[in-house]
Structure 1
Amino acid sequence: MKVNFNLRSASSEKETPINMVMRWTSQRLVCASKKSINPKYWNFDKQQAKKSLEGYSTFNTNLNNLETKIFKTFEEFISDNGREPNVQELREFLAAKVFQPIKPKIEKKTPTLLELILIKLDIEKRRLVSEGKGTSRTTTLYSYRRLHELLLEFQNKTKIGVNYQDISLDWYYEFKDFLNSKSYATNYQGKIIKDIKTILNLALEKGYSTNRVHKNSKFKKDQVKTFHTYLNEFEIEQLYQFDFSENKRLEKVRDLFVLACRTGLRISDFKRIKKDHIIISNIHVQKDGQNIEIEREFLRILTQKTKTEVDIPLHSNVEEILLKYDYKVPFISTQNFNTYVKEVCKEAGLTEVLIYTKTQGSETKRIERPKYGLCSSHTGRRSFATNHYMQGFPILSIMAITGHSKVKDFKNYIVLGANEHAKVLASHYYRLEEEKKAVKNHLKIAR
C-alpha cells in the first residue's frame, strides 16, 4: 500500500485542502486529511510543508502520524479478516479507526441551589430504596421538600435571591428573621439551617459553588435543650401492673411501651422482635460468697437505623410479654402508637404536671403539661437509658445496649436535672464506702 498527500488545488493562492490518495493492488481511495495549506508553503516533491511555514515541523509530524495510522489500520484489517479490504471497506474502517468524529464538548449546566435540593432529594430516595426502606413518610425526604418550599417562599416574600452567590451572613440573618416570623421552634429552625449547610457542602464538593460562608462560625444552627420526660422504675411497674384487660387495644400498646422501657430499643426494632432473636449465654454471678456460672436469655437484634447488632439481657417483664404473645409482637403504626401511648399512660395514672419552657420564634413560653401528654415511643428508650444511669450502670455499657457510638448523642437520652445527677454521684460514693467497709471486715476476719 502507498499513501500520497496531494493538494486539491495546486494553483490556489490561498489555503487548499490536502487529500490523501491510497493505492493498493489496483485499488484507489481518496480521502480528505482534514488539513489544509497554502500551495506556496508546500513541497510537492517531498509532499510536506516547507520550512518557510510557521510551525512546519509540527505540521509535518502530524502528516507523518496520520500516514502511520493509515498503514496500521490497513494491516489491522488484513489481520482481522485474512484479506485486503476493498475501497468501501477501507473507507469505513478508516472512518471508525482514524477519522473518528470529535464529539463536541457538552458544557454541563450547573444546577441552582433550588435544583440541587431536588437532586439531593432524589439521591436520598434512591439510598432508601437500596436499603429496602419505604420513601412515603420518611422524615429526611420531608425535610428537603420543606426546605425547597421555604426557600421559594422566602424568595417570593423578601425578593432576596436564594442561589449560591446570594448566600452571605446578611442573607443568613434575613432568613432567620423569616423563620422567626413563622414562629418555628428554635430546634426546628436549627434543623432547617443544618439542611441548608448540607446542600452548600454538596455544592462545594461538586464544584457548583466556591461560596464558603456557611463554614463561618456565625452561620450556625441554633439549638436549645428540648424538654423530655422518662418513666422511673416505680412508674414502669405501675404501668405494667395496671389492668387493661377490658381494653385490648390499650393493653397491646402498654405491653409494647414496657418492651421499649425494658430494652431501650427504637419502635422500628422492638416491633420486629421474634423468637429467633433470643439467645442463651452464660454469665458469672456471686452466690453464697462463691462465683458461679449461670445461663441467661438475651435479645440479640440488628438495629434498623444504625445497622448495629446489640445484645440485651431479657428483663422479666420482657420475658412475660413475649410469652404472652407467643413471640409475635403485635403490629401498630408509629403514628398510632404515639397517639395511644398517651391514652395508656393517662389511664395508668401518670398525670403528674410537668413545667418547662419552650422557645418558639423569638418568644419563650412557660408550658404546663401532664406527663402522659409528653410520652411517645422514644420515652421508652430514654427511660431505659436514664434508669440504668441512675443505678450507676457504666455509660459505655448502656451505650453498647442502646447502640449509641457517641457520648454526645447518648447524653440526650439522660433525662435528669442537676440535683439528680448529683444523687447518682452520691450513690456511687456510697457504694465505694460500703465496698471499703466490706474489705476491712474481710481483713479482720482473716486475721
Structure 2
Amino acid sequence: MSRKESQSKNLNNVKLSPITVRSYKQTVNRIKDFDSETNFGINFNTINLNFYYAFVQYLEKNNYSTNTIGKHIKNLKTILNAATEDGYNSNLKYKHRDFKTVSKESVSIYLTEAEIEAIYNLDLSKTKDWELARDIFLVGYYTGQRVSDYNHVKKEQVKRFQGTEVIEFNQRKTGKKLYVPLHPRLKKIFKERYQDNPPPELNAPDINEFIKEVGRKAKIDSEISLEKELNGNFEIVKVPKYSLIQSHTARRSFCTNAYLSKMPVIDIMAISGHSTEREFYKYIKVKPQERAIKISQSNFFTK
C-alpha cells in the first residue's frame, strides 16, 4: 500500500490528533510487517477476507492482544473508508460482515477513595522516582484527565476565575478546552514538593512501572481474577490489585468515585470530556450493588 493510498488525503482532510495519527501509523506499520513476512502483496485489490484472516492470524502469532488486533482492524477500515470516498479504492470486500473488528472486555480497575488516600499518605521521600510517579498519578486522579494531558501540566495552565483556581486543559485527543478546579491536595503537592509548580513530566512507561510499586507499598493487594491465555488455553488467574494499576487508572478512578459521591454526571463529563452519557457509563466501574445504593439515596426512595 503506497503512502499516498494509506493516508488518503489525511482521511478526508479531517484534522487528526497526534495520538490518532500515531495509532494509524502503528496499524500501517503492522501491515507492512505482515506483508514483508508473508509476501502477501498488499494493495487495495488484495484486501479481502483472505487477507483479513491471514493478518489476524499473523497478529495472534505475534502475541498481540484481542483488543489490539481489533484496534488495527478498526483503523484499517477507517483508512479504507476514506480511500473509497476519495476515489482511490473501489474494492469493497472490507465491508463484508466477517471483516469485523474484534474485542474482549479487559480487566480495568479503579481505586477506591480509601486506596487513593493510602497512596496520597505514603512517605516516598526516599524513592524519588516513585514519589514523582505518585504525584503525577494524583494529578490525573484529581483532574480526571488522560495521561497525555495530565503528565505535563504547566504552571501557566493554572488560572483564577472569580477567586477560584482552575487548571486549563486542551485535551490532545479531543481538542476540547476544559477547566478543572484545582484540588487543595494538588495545590499542597505543587507548593511543598515542586516550588509551586506541577510535577515535571515522566515517561508514561515509567509511570506505569512505578505506580505499581507505589500501590504495592500502599498494600493495595486484594486479589483480582482475570482470564489469561497460557499456551493457547485460557485460564482464570488471581493477581494482586496493585499489579493492574496503570496511568489510565487515575482517570477511571476519578470518574467512578465522583459518580459514587453523587456528583452530577453532567459535571463529571464536563471535567473528563466524555461526549455522551452512554460512553461515560460504559467507562466507569460501578458494581450493580453500588449503583443500587446510590439510587436508594435519591429523593424517590428517601421520602
**TM-score normalised by the shorter chain: which range applies?**
0.7 to 0.9
With normalisation by structure 2, the TM-score equals 0.84
1:354 is aligned to: 224
> Cα distance 1:139–1:235, how it changes in 2: closer, same or farther (>3 A)?
same
1:152 is aligned to: 36
Among candidates 379, 382, 387, match of residue 252 of structure 2: 382
Shift of 1:383: 0.6
1:430 is aligned to: 297
| SS of match in other structure, 2:299 | helix
Among candidates 173, 194, 211, match of residue 74 of structure 2: 194
Among candidates 182, 191, 196, match of residue 323 of structure 1: 191
- Any stretches of 5+ residues in structure 2 without a counterpart? none
1:270 is aligned to: 150
Q: Using the alignment, how far apart are the partners of 1:376 and 1:121 within structure 2?
A: 35
Shift of 1:375: 1.3
The share of aligned pairs that are identical, in percent, is: 32
Asked whether 1:120 is paired with 2:7, we answer yes
Look up the equivalent residue of 2:291 and give its one-letter code. V
> Cα distance 1:118–1:373, how it changes in 2: closer, same or farther (>3 A)?
farther
Asked whether 1:314 is paired with 2:182, we answer yes
Q: Is the 8 A contact 1:302 1:309 kept in 2?
A: yes
> Cα distance 1:117–1:348, how it changes in 2: closer, same or farther (>3 A)?
farther
> Cα distance 1:215–1:188, how it changes in 2: closer, same or farther (>3 A)?
same
Which is richer in strand?
1
Which is richer in helix?
2
- Which is higher, the Rg of structure 1 or of structure 2? 1
Aligned length: 300
Shift of 1:205: 2.3
Q: Using the alignment, how far apart are the partners of 1:165 and 1:250 within structure 2?
A: 51
Shift of 1:307: 1.8
1:219-243 Cα deviation digits (max 9, x unpaired)? 2101111111111100001110111
Shift of 1:378: 0.8
> Cα distance 1:328–1:259, how it changes in 2: closer, same or farther (>3 A)?
closer
Q: Is the 8 A contact 2:8 2:83 kept in 1?
A: no
1:143 is aligned to: 27
Higher relative contact order (CA 8 A, sep 6+): 2
Q: Is the 8 A contact 2:159 2:166 kept in 1?
A: yes
Q: Using the alignment, how far apart are the partners of 1:122 and 1:433 within structure 2?
A: 54
| SS of match in other structure, 1:377 | coil
Look up the equivalent residue of 2:2 and give its one-letter code. E
Shift of 1:380: 0.4
| SS of match in other structure, 1:151 | helix
Look up the equivalent residue of 1:425 and give its one-letter code. A
2:269 is aligned to: 399
2:110 is aligned to: 230
Q: Using the alignment, how far apart are the partners of 1:221 and 1:127 within structure 2?
A: 23
| SS of match in other structure, 1:143 | helix
Q: Using the alignment, how far apart are the partners of 1:121 and 1:329 within structure 2?
A: 40
Look up the equivalent residue of 2:7 and give its one-letter code. K
Q: Is the 8 A contact 1:183 1:362 kept in 2?
A: no
Matches within 5 A, 1:208-223: 208-223=88-103
Shift of 1:334: 1.5
With normalisation by structure 1, the TM-score equals 0.59
